[in-house]
Structure formats: C-alpha cells, structure tokens
Chains A and B, each alone.
Chain A
Amino acid sequence: MNVIQQLKLGFRSLMLHKLRSALAVLGILIGVTAVIWLVAMGEGVSYQAQQQIKELGATSIIIRTIKPSEEANSDSGSRSGIAYGLLRSDYDRIITNVPTILSAVPMREISRDVRRDEFAVSAQVIGCTPEYFSINRLPVVRGRPLAASDLRGLENVVVLAHDVAERLFPIQDPLGRAIQIGTEFYVVVGVAQDRTAAAAIGGSFSARQYNRDVYIPLSTFRKRIGDRVITVRGGTFQNETIELNQITAVVDDVASVDASADIIRALLSRYHKTLDYAVVVPKELLEQAETLRMMFNVLLLLIAGISLVVGGIGIMNIMLATVTERTREIGIRRALGATKGEIVQQFLWETVVLSGTGGLLGVSVGFLCGPTVEGVRLVIESFMPELWSTLPSTIHQLEPRLAPWSIVAAFGISVGVGIVFGIYPAQRAANMDPIEALRHE
C-alpha cells in the first residue's frame, strides 16, 4: 500500500469513532497552538525590547549621572548640599582621550512647569547641544533644531517635543511664539517629531518620555537654571549640584564599543571618588535581551512541550483502546498475510493521521494568534477598563510575532509525539497471537 492509501485507511478507521478521534486531535491541536502562541508572544515582547534598545543605537555609549547611595554621601553633610554626577570636565576628558568617539552630546535635565498664557504642562527641560537630535534620531519636523550659534549666544530659544507643543499650542502655530520656563521666556524655534518611549536602561534610567521634553541650549540651561537643584523632600530642603546628567557618546564602529566603554570607565574612576555615574552600553543590553529571549523561548518551549506530551498521552490512550477494540481486525489481517511489521505500520499511520491532523489544525489556529490577542485586548479594554489600566504597558502594546521556526517545530514535534506514543499500541497490536485475535469477540 502506498502512503496515500495508508493515510486513507487510517482516516477511515479513525472515523469509526469520530468523537474519540476528535478528542485526541484536540489534545494535539492545543499543544501545537500553545507552542506557536507562546513563542509568538515571547518573540513579540523581546522584539519590543530590542527595538527600544536599538533606538538607543548600537554604537552609542551612554554615561549617566546616578545619585550615590545615602551612606556614601552622608559624610559630605546634607545641610550644605551634595555635589555629584558627571562634570563638564568629564565631557572634555572623554572627547579628548577616547579616539574612537565620533561625537558626544552632554546633557542636563530637570523637571519644570512650562507655561504659555493659561496653558501649563510639567515637562522635562533638557539642556543639550545641536547633535542631541541626530544622535537620538529625533527629527525636528517643524522649524529648526538648536544651532551652534544658539549655544554660543546663550540664546533663550526652545525646541518643543510633540506632546508639549500640542498642549501649549492647541490651535496656534508655536513657531516664533514665547513660552515660559520658570521665570524666563523662550522663543519656540522648532517642534520635534512624535516619538514613543524608549527602553529603560539597566535600572539607572527610566523609560525616556521624549514626548514630554523641551530642549534648550546647554549653555542657556547653565546660565538660566544653573547646576544647583533645591528640592523639598520630607520637610527638609535638599540641595544638589549636578553639572551634567548624561553624556551620550557615539563611536565609529560596533566593534570598538566595548573597548571605548572600558576606557571611559577607567577615565571616570580616576576623577570620581564615589560611583555617581553609570556607563551603559546599549549593545550589551541588546545582548542581554537576546540571552533573555533565548531563555524565555526555552521556558515557553518546555511548557508547550509538556502540553504536547499530554496530547501524546491522549493519543496513546485512544490507540490502546482502538487496538483492543480491533483485535479481531488485527487477527483477520494477520491471517490474510499481514506481517507484524505491516500491522505496526498500519497503526502508526493511524496515529500519524491523528497527530498530523491535530498538528495542521494547531498550526491554523496558531496563525490566529494576532487577531485573538487583539480581540482579547479589545474585550478587556471595553468591558474591564479598570483592570486594563492596571496592566503593564508591555501588555498594552504586545504584538505577537509568529516565528516560522516555531510553526515547523510545533508541527514536527506533534507528528513525532504521535509516532512515539503510537509505537507501543502498534507493537501491542502486532504481537497478538493471530489465533487468539481471531477468536476475540
């Protein structure tokens, strides 16, 4: 008998017990679907993370001011205030001492209310240089970015992020108009493109909300706002002096990122007694994310594998029942010339039909992953809004990504599981004594 005949025969034998066969198929279907869906969701989450990290740039090194721990700064005295973080001299040292750096952007930031007539919005005021926009891939879509002359002249000019511009200027064109930051007025020269949050980097850096930024020249920042920050915390004034919040350096090649980061670390450690800075390499984050993704996938495969094995046990159960029930048929076939091998084959083909059908259906349902996630999201959003608002943004934005390898693997494993779990019942069928089998009622 050829393969098609074997498959046909298997199918017809299974049709003797439609419900039973359907349940066995369902077991495999669920397993295969689980593999495909779980992998797709895992891939979706890690793709999100990777995209966010990639936005930071694979060739960039981010040096970030972090506040030293309380014990470390207790000796400097809280009354007189503390000074920590990156220094303007650090910036100079870095650009003069690290030859691989193509460009570097110093940056200072602070939270301030930004006003325009009756409109007010709390924004992140960023003091930076013109390169900031290119290094962060943040196009200025209206007007112009900050210019070198703005820095030289300590001009009171500002580039607004998309959301800030919309809030302050719901109707009018913001270009050329004035906004107020603290007590100073700034002229709007540009509006940046809409941009969603980028990744949070290694604990030292919360997700960058580019849309809440206003950008002013770094020199203007220093003159108008200054290095000292006074905050009221727990009833006492806290007095902090920070020169720079961040330096973003871009090196010439991905290969020199690690070495350059090492030089920067060594350079900074000589001038900083406490660890009040962090050197973050997005490339490393990308590698970490990749490792995490692999671990995640292995875990998901394990879970999905368990469900496939459960499906396989279902198949074995069905096939054992089938073999017992069709003892007579086995006897007849043996009498009419079938060898043990041919009986094994016949029952194995039957399990392959079962698991293969389950596999194919599972793959089809697997393709419905995207629409299903979308549907579930819609249902939760419209019927359980309070639950929806508590869910993390990863779930809000989750786009499952079907991994082709997971489809092939799931189908392959399902057929494999069918064969593995079919062997025992098939051999049991083949090893029956034909005389006994023929006598079986």
Chain B
Amino acid sequence: MSNTPQESSQEPVQVATVRDVTKVYRLGGQDVKALAGVSLEFKQGDFVAIMGSSGSGKSTLLNLLGCLDRPTTGQYLLGGHDVATLSDEDLSRVRGRYLGFVFQSYNLIQQLSVVENIMVPLSYQLPVRPDGRELSTKLATLVGLAGRLDHRPNQLSGGQQQRVAIARALVNNPHVILADEPTGNLDTATSNEIMDLLDVLNNTGRTIVMVTHEPDIAERAKTVVTLRDGLIQSIEQNRE
C-alpha cells in the first residue's frame, strides 16, 4: 500500500470510512439495533475518541472498525477493501495487515516474552519478515521497555503491559490503531503516561481510534464522537 502513515502529504489521506452502517442483533427473538446508521471518516493522523454510555453502540462500532464483526447493512472501506463483504479468512488478513489493537486488559499472551508478544502479528503475515525480532526490540525500546525484553507479562506492571500491547499494535505498521478503553485498568498517573505515548504516536502520523467513557481521557483526543442509542449524537473538535 502506498498510503503508509509515514508518507505524510499535504492533503490528509483517508484511511477508513464507514457509510451508513447498521448492526442488528437478534436477542431472545427480538431484533436489537446496536447501530442505527453511522457514517464516519478517518483520515491519516486523526485521533478520535468514541464516547457514549453503556449500550450506546460504541463497542459494536469498535468491533466493526476492528473487522471482528460485519455490519448488517452499510459499507466499511479499509485499505481499499469493502470489508463488509469479505470472508472470515480475508477479514483475518485485513486485521493483521491494516489494524493494530490495544485492549483494556492488555491481552498479552502469558507464555510469551515481551519481544515475542510484540512479534505475534508478524507471525500471521506473509512473507515472513526476517527482521521481525529486531523490529520488535526496536518498538519495545520505543515504548520504554528496553530492559525487559525477555520478561513474561506476569512480571510486568499494568502500565508496562499496556506499553507492550501498544508496541504490538505498531509492529505491522497499521493504518489505524484501535484502542478499547486503553486506560480502563490503570491508575491516573499511569493512564497519563499511556495517553502521552498515544499522543507521541499520533504526532508521528498514526491514526488512532479510541473508545472510552472517561471524559478526561477523551479530552486528550483531537476529535470526540459521542454515540447515543446507535446514532451519532455529536462530533466535537478539541482544542490543541
């Protein structure tokens, strides 16, 4: 792909677009509309926080953006593909190539070391990168874990684990980093450190979409999208 985040040009490149997506679940014989028609555009360098109360559809939207789920209707364009029509295998490939994930509970693999955890997305990419280990070591150093390369996740603090997760989200050079309550399990000081790290990444051109319910965390994003009952209630630009 030509539009890697490093190649910044005058006009911000559109990396992901959702057009009028809906998601309907069937629960106990009743249709529940989790998303009732949402359209959003993400350009390179965006830092978007998605807010909303529980049941507003923000998790559903994040799952759709993360290609973990397909919309009931509507279009989702990512990296030139209409993701809504892809097969399960192709969705896996799209996740591996274009997306990076950061979760609330870090989601590291316990039996793997820091470097090996960072390398996991590379193991599902072809062709095999011969420099995977070096790249992962570099990223671990970038997020401040140079001295803990061979530690296991259970030997790290929560903040350190989230740094590993962020490094892992960067290793495949994704179009978009999706963060699901990245500070939800962290204390305030550590939360700020993680947000500082995301800021740094955003400033180097990374596109970040973050779901949160904490207003002070959402304030750190450039744009705040608030959902309510499966619809966009407001889109606000934060001051720099």
A positions within 8 Å CB-CB of B: 1-2, 5, 12-13, 15-16, 328-329, 331-342, 434-435, 438
Known: A15-B111, A328-B107, A337-B124. A435 touches B93 (CB 8 A): no
Shortest beta-carbon distance from B139 to chain A in Å:
14
A338–B92 contact, CB under 8 A? yes
B172: which of A331, A337, A340 is its contact (CB, 8 Å)?
A337
Interface centre among A5, A336, A438 (most CB of B within 10 A): A336
A12–B92 contact, CB under 8 A? no
The distance in angstroms between the C-alpha atoms of A16 and B92, with both chains bound, is 27
The distance in angstroms between the C-alpha atoms of A337 and B168, with both chains bound, is 12
A336–B93 contact, CB under 8 A? no
**Which 10 pairs of residues, A with B, have the shortest CB-CB distance?**
A337-B96, A337-B124, A339-B92, A336-B121, A332-B107, A339-B89, A338-B124, A12-B111, A1-B123, A337-B95
The distance in angstroms between the C-alpha atoms of A349 and B88, with both chains bound, is 22
The distance in angstroms between the C-alpha atoms of A331 and B168, with both chains bound, is 15
Complex interface: chain A residues within 8 A of B124 (CB):
333, 336-339, 342
Known: A341-B89, A438-B103. A335 touches B111 (CB 8 A): no
Known: A13-B111, A334-B92. A434 touches B68 (CB 8 A): yes
Flag whether B18 is at the interface (Cβ < 8 A). no
A337–B121 contact, CB under 8 A? yes
Flag whether B233 is at the interface (Cβ < 8 A). no
The distance in angstroms between the C-alpha atoms of A337 and B122, with both chains bound, is 9
B120–A339 contact, CB under 8 A? no
B93–A337 contact, CB under 8 A? yes
B97–A337 contact, CB under 8 A? yes
Flag whether B63 is at the interface (Cβ < 8 A). yes
The distance in angstroms between the C-alpha atoms of A303 and B237, with both chains bound, is 74
A336–B101 contact, CB under 8 A? yes
Interface centre among B89, B95, B103 (most CB of A within 10 A): B95
Complex interface: chain A residues within 8 A of B88 (CB):
339-340
Shortest beta-carbon distance from B214 to chain A in Å:
20
Complex interface: chain B residues within 8 A of A340 (CB):
88-89, 92
| Interface CB pairs A-B, < 8 A, 19 | A2-B128, A5-B123, A13-B111, A331-B107, A332-B107, A332-B109, A333-B120, A334-B68, A335-B68, A336-B121, A336-B168, A337-B93, A337-B97, A338-B92, A339-B88, A339-B124, A340-B89, A434-B68, A438-B68
Contact residues, B95-143 vs A (CB, 8 A): 95-97, 101, 103, 107-112, 120-121, 123-125, 128
What 0/1 pattern do residues 62 to 98 of B give for CB contact below 8 A with A?
Answer: 0100101100000000000000000011001101110
**A-B contact count, CB below 8 Å?**
66
A339–B111 contact, CB under 8 A? no
Complex interface: chain A residues within 8 A of B89 (CB):
339-341
A438: which of B93, B107, B172 is its contact (CB, 8 Å)?
B107
Shortest beta-carbon distance from A335 to chain B in Å:
5
A435–B69 contact, CB under 8 A? yes
The distance in angstroms between the C-alpha atoms of A13 and B110, with both chains bound, is 9
Inter-chain pairs besides A336-B101, A336-B120, A337-B172, 9 sampled, C-beta below 8 Å:
A12-B112, A335-B66, A335-B107, A336-B121, A337-B95, A337-B125, A338-B96, A339-B124, A342-B92
The distance in angstroms between the C-alpha atoms of A1 and B172, with both chains bound, is 16
Shortest beta-carbon distance from B8 to chain A in Å:
26
Known: A16-B110, A16-B111, A434-B68. A339 touches B93 (CB 8 A): yes
Shortest beta-carbon distance from B113 to chain A in Å:
10
B95–A336 contact, CB under 8 A? yes
Complex interface: chain B residues within 8 A of A5 (CB):
123
What 0/1 pattern do residues 40 to 69 of B give for CB contact below 8 A with A?
Answer: 000000000000000000000001001011
The distance in angstroms between the C-alpha atoms of A240 and B121, with both chains bound, is 94
Smallest CB-CB separation from A338: which chain B residue?
Answer: B124
The distance in angstroms between the C-alpha atoms of A360 and B4, with both chains bound, is 49
Complex interface: chain B residues within 8 A of A335 (CB):
66, 68, 95, 101, 107
Complex interface: chain A residues within 8 A of B66 (CB):
335
The distance in angstroms between the C-alpha atoms of A12 and B89, with both chains bound, is 27
Shortest beta-carbon distance from B29 to chain A in Å:
20
Shortest beta-carbon distance from A327 to chain B in Å:
12
The distance in angstroms between the C-alpha atoms of A105 and B121, with both chains bound, is 84
Shortest beta-carbon distance from A280 to chain B in Å:
67
Complex interface: chain B residues within 8 A of A339 (CB):
88-89, 92-93, 124
Complex interface: chain A residues within 8 A of B69 (CB):
435
Complex interface: chain B residues within 8 A of A16 (CB):
110-111
The distance in angstroms between the C-alpha atoms of A16 and B152, with both chains bound, is 12
Shortest beta-carbon distance from A239 to chain B in Å:
89
The distance in angstroms between the C-alpha atoms of A333 and B125, with both chains bound, is 12
Smallest CB-CB separation from A329: which chain B residue?
Answer: B109
Shortest beta-carbon distance from B124 to chain A in Å:
4
Shortest beta-carbon distance from A338 to chain B in Å:
5
Complex interface: chain B residues within 8 A of A15 (CB):
111
A337–B68 contact, CB under 8 A? no
Complex interface: chain B residues within 8 A of A435 (CB):
63, 68-69
Smallest CB-CB separation from B69: which chain A residue?
Answer: A435
The distance in angstroms between the C-alpha atoms of A334 and B95, with both chains bound, is 9
The distance in angstroms between the C-alpha atoms of A373 and B168, with both chains bound, is 56
The distance in angstroms between the C-alpha atoms of A328 and B106, with both chains bound, is 11
The distance in angstroms between the C-alpha atoms of A328 and B105, with both chains bound, is 11
Smallest CB-CB separation from A441: which chain B residue?
Answer: B105
The distance in angstroms between the C-alpha atoms of A331 and B63, with both chains bound, is 13
Shortest beta-carbon distance from A130 to chain B in Å:
80
Shortest beta-carbon distance from A350 to chain B in Å:
11
Shortest beta-carbon distance from B94 to chain A in Å:
8
Smallest CB-CB separation from A332: which chain B residue?
Answer: B107
Smallest CB-CB separation from B165: which chain A residue?
Answer: A332
Complex interface: chain B residues within 8 A of A1 (CB):
123, 128
Smallest CB-CB separation from B120: which chain A residue?
Answer: A336
Shortest beta-carbon distance from A366 to chain B in Å:
31
Interface centre among A5, A15, A16, A338 (most CB of B within 10 A): A338
Smallest CB-CB separation from A437: which chain B residue?
Answer: B68
A336–B111 contact, CB under 8 A? no
The distance in angstroms between the C-alpha atoms of A338 and B66, with both chains bound, is 14
